[in-house]
Structure formats: structure tokens, C-alpha cells
Structure 1
């Protein structure tokens, strides 16, 4: 089952309004309502709020802390000189997917140096 009507997304839309009211002081982020796949829930496709921040890892961290997302639950992916961070958690009774991406710090660009024994 997927979201078929706008009214099906009402919980996520309400959560989006609550986020604005509570966290208006946080860095600007791109926000939208979408469906996400949750294998452990029925229905499998559920409404969620997507929060995307770009370029600044500090902005991602500010949102992660505000939403109470455990740092260990953040998925980090590196590609050459860029990174992405993804965390999915419940907030206000609705699933929230927090995403961040940008240029990886220069220290992560260099391959690990072999340590002489």
C-alpha cells in the first residue's frame, strides 16, 4: 500500500508544521513530505518528512541533535571527494528522514597511509 491521497500524508504535514514551530532557529534546510519504505511496519510505505541539508556537516548535526537522533544510527557514505549522511527516526509520531551531503573534508580524500612495522 502506498499513499494515494493528500489526506494520507496529513500526519507528516502536521509534523512539518511542528518542526517549523519548534526549530525555527535551526539552519535552513530543504523539507518535503514523501513516502518511505519501512519493512517492519504495515503498511510498508508510510508518510515521512524529508529534511535535507547541503554542504555543512554542522547543519546536519544541529538537526540531528534537535531531533534526538542517536549519532550511531547515522549512515555515512563516502564517494571520492563527497559524502552523504542519512538517519531515519521517529519524531512527533511521524518518520523523519534526515539527509546531508557535501564535499568531504580533505583528510578523507587521501588514502590511508601504510604503517611500517
Structure 2
């Protein structure tokens, strides 16, 4: 019986040592990362460190039919708005008229987008 207990104790101690070694390796790796980060951006105060991201965040573009359709619609709207501005610049000589077209197009753009691209119908 005592041999079995000794064997189990040895297994527990070996597991404990393995976990301690893994923890020490993780802490050493984190310390190296902190050291590299501090060399690159300088030491960071405690309150600000929580705000900084741990790693760069990659923003993925949404995929699928609806996302593609929305991107197409937004592109069409942007191109048409830009063309209206260019035509106003070319055809109108008055700065007040150009400003009026600019402000009018900004104010009417959401209304026209809602009417033309309404998804409820």
C-alpha cells in the first residue's frame, strides 16, 4: 500500500513540477513580449496599458449577398453624388449656387437613398 501511495505522490509532484515549468515559460514569454513592446512604444502607465490593444485587430469585410449588395449600392450612391458635384462645379459659375447644390445634395442624399433602395417593398 505504501508503495502505491509513494508512486501517486511522485506522480502528483511530477505533475506539479510540469505545471510550474509551463507557468514559468509563459511568464518568461510574457516578460519578453512586454520588454519588446516597451522598447518599441516606451513604457506605458498602468491606466493607459488597459486601453492599448494586446495585438493588432484585423477587421474582416462582411461577405455574402446582402453585404455585396450594400457595398454596390453605396458605391453607386457615392459615384452619383460625386458626378453631381462635378457637374455643378462645371456648369455653375456662382459660388452660392455651387454651395446650394452641395448642401442640397447632402440633405437630399439620405431621402433619395431611402426611397430608391428601400428593402421593405
Which range, TM-score by smaller chain?
Answer: under 0.3
Greater share of residues in strand: 1
TM-score (norm. length: structure 1)? 0.25
TM-score (norm. length: structure 2)? 0.25
Larger Rg, first or second structure (1 or 2): 2
Larger RCO: Structure 1 or Structure 2 (Cα < 8 Å, ≥ 6 residues apart)? 1
Greater share of residues in helix: 2
